A and B are shown apart, each in its own frame.
Chain A
Amino acid sequence: MAKVLMKGNEVIAEAAIQSGCKYFFGYPITPQSELVAYMAKRLPEVDGLFLQAESEIAAINMVYGAASAGVRVMTSSSSPGFSLKQEGISFLAGAELPAVLVNIARGGPGLGNIQPAQSDYFQVTKGGGHGDYYTPVLAPSTLQEVVELTQVAFYLADKYRTPVILLGDGMLGQMMEPVEFASIDFTEAFPKKDWATTGTRGDGPPRVISSLELNDVNLENHNKKLQAKYSEIKCQEVRVDSYLADDADYFVVAYGTVSRIAKNAIDAARQKGIKIGMIRPITLWPFPEQAFIERKDKAKGYLVVEMSAGQMVEDVRLAVNGTAPVTFFGRTGGVIPSHLEIYDAIMNVAGGELV
Chain B
Amino acid sequence: MKLVFQRTVGLQEKETHYCPGCTHGIIHRLVGEALEELDILEDTVGVASVGCSVLSYEYFNCDMTQAAHGRAPAVATGIKRVLPNNRIVFTYQGDGDLASIGMAEIIHAAARGEHITVIFVNNATYGMTGGQMAPTTLIGQKTATTPLGRNEQTQGAPIRVSEMLATLDSVAYIERVSTHNIANILKAKKAIKKAFRYQKEQVGFSFVEVLSTCPTNWGLDPEESLQWVEDNMVPYYPLGVKKDRGVTTNVT
Tell me, in angstroms, the Cα distance from A291 to B228 when the chains sit together.
69
Question: Do A199 and B63 touch (CB < 8 A)?
Answer: yes
Contact A69 B78, beta carbon cutoff 8 Å: yes
Q: Is A176 an interface residue (CB 8 A)?
A: no
Q: Which residues of A, 201-217, contact B by the 8 Å Cβ criterion?
A: 201-202, 206-212
Judge whether A55 is part of the interface by a CB distance below 8 angstroms: yes
B77 touches A65 (CB 8 A): yes
Q: State the interface size on chain B (CB cutoff 8 A).
A: 37
Q: Which residue in chain B gives the minimum CB-CB distance to A50?
A: B81
A53 to B108 alpha-carbon distance, docked (Å): 8
| Contact status A65-B74, CB under 8 Å | yes
A200 CB contacts on chain B under 8 angstroms = 41-42, 62-63
Chain B residue contacts of A347, Cβ below 8 A: none
Whole-angstrom distance between the Cβ of B127 and the nearest chain A Cβ: 16
In the assembled complex, the CB of B219 is this many whole angstroms from the nearest CB of chain A, namely 25
22 CB < 8 A contacts A-B = A58-B71, A61-B75, A62-B77, A64-B68, A64-B71, A65-B65, A66-B78, A69-B79, A69-B83, A197-B79, A198-B45, A198-B63, A199-B42, A199-B63, A200-B42, A200-B62, A200-B63, A206-B60, A206-B62, A208-B66, A209-B64, A212-B66
Q: Which of A87-95, A118-126, A240-248, A316-324 contacts B (4 or more CB under 8 A)?
A: A87-95
- How far apart are the CA atoms of A59 and B104 in the complex, in Å? 12
Which chain A residues border B65 with CB–CB below 8 Å? 64-65, 68, 197, 208-210
Contacts of B55 in A (CB 8 A): 212
Taking the complex as formed, is A17 at the interface, i.e. its CB lies under 8 A from any CB of chain B?
no
B78 touching A54 by the CB < 8 A rule?
no
- State whether A207 and B63 are in contact (beta carbons under 8 Å apart), knowing that A25-B78, A66-B79, A198-B45 are contacts in the complex: yes
Within 69-89 of A, Cβ neighbours of B (below 8 Å) are at 69, 71, 73, 87-88
**8 Å CB interface, A12-60 against B:** 23, 25, 49, 51, 53-55, 57-59
Tell me the bound Cα distance from A211 to B108 in angstroms.
25
Asked if B83 contacts A199 (CB within 8 A), the reply is: yes
Within 8 A of A (CB), among B143-174: none
For the complex, give the distance between the alpha carbons of A65 and B204 in Å.
19
Pair A58/B108 contact, Cβ less than 8 Å: yes
Residues of A near B66 (CB, < 8 A) are 95, 208-212
Contact in complex: A64, B78 (CB < 8 Å): yes
B105 within 8 A of A: yes
Query: What separation, in Å, do the CA atoms of A87 and B63 have in the docked complex?
Result: 23
**B-side contacts of A57, CB under 8 Å:** 71, 74, 104-105
C-alpha gap A71/B79 in the complex (Å): 9
Report the minimal beta-carbon distance from A193 to chain B, rounded to whole angstroms: 12
Which of A25, A66, A202, A208 touches B64 (beta carbons < 8 Å)?
A: A208
Instruction: List CB contacts (< 8 Å) of B40-85 with chain A.
Output: 41-45, 47-48, 54-55, 57-58, 60-68, 71, 74-83
Nearest neighbor of A51 in chain B, beta-carbon distance: B81
Which of under 10, 10 to 19, 20 to 34, or 35 or more describes the interface residues of A?
35 or more
Q: Is the CB of A71 within 8 A of B82?
A: yes
Given contacts A64-B75, A65-B65, A65-B78, 4 further A-B contacts (CB under 8 A): A65-B47, A199-B42, A209-B64, A212-B55
In the complex, the answer to whether B45 meets A199 with C-beta atoms within 8 Å is yes
B87 at the interface (CB under 8 A from A): yes
A334 to B221, CA, bound (A): 61
CA–CA, A202 to B86, complex, Å?
14
Q: Is A199's CB under 8 angstroms from B104's CB?
A: no
Which single residue of chain A is at the shortest CB-CB distance from B71?
A61
- CA of A68 to CA of B72, assembled, Å: 13
Chain B nearest Cβ from A154, distance in angstroms: 15
Which chain A positions have C-beta within 8 A of B45? Answer: 69, 197-199
| Complex interface: chain A residues within 8 A of B61 (CB) | 206
Contact A199 B44 (CB under 8 A): yes
Contact of A88 among B44, B58, B68, B81 (CB under 8 A): B68
- Which residues on the B side are within 8 Å of A201 (C-beta)? 42-43
Question: In whole Å, how far is B100's beta carbon from the nearest beta carbon of chain A?
Answer: 14
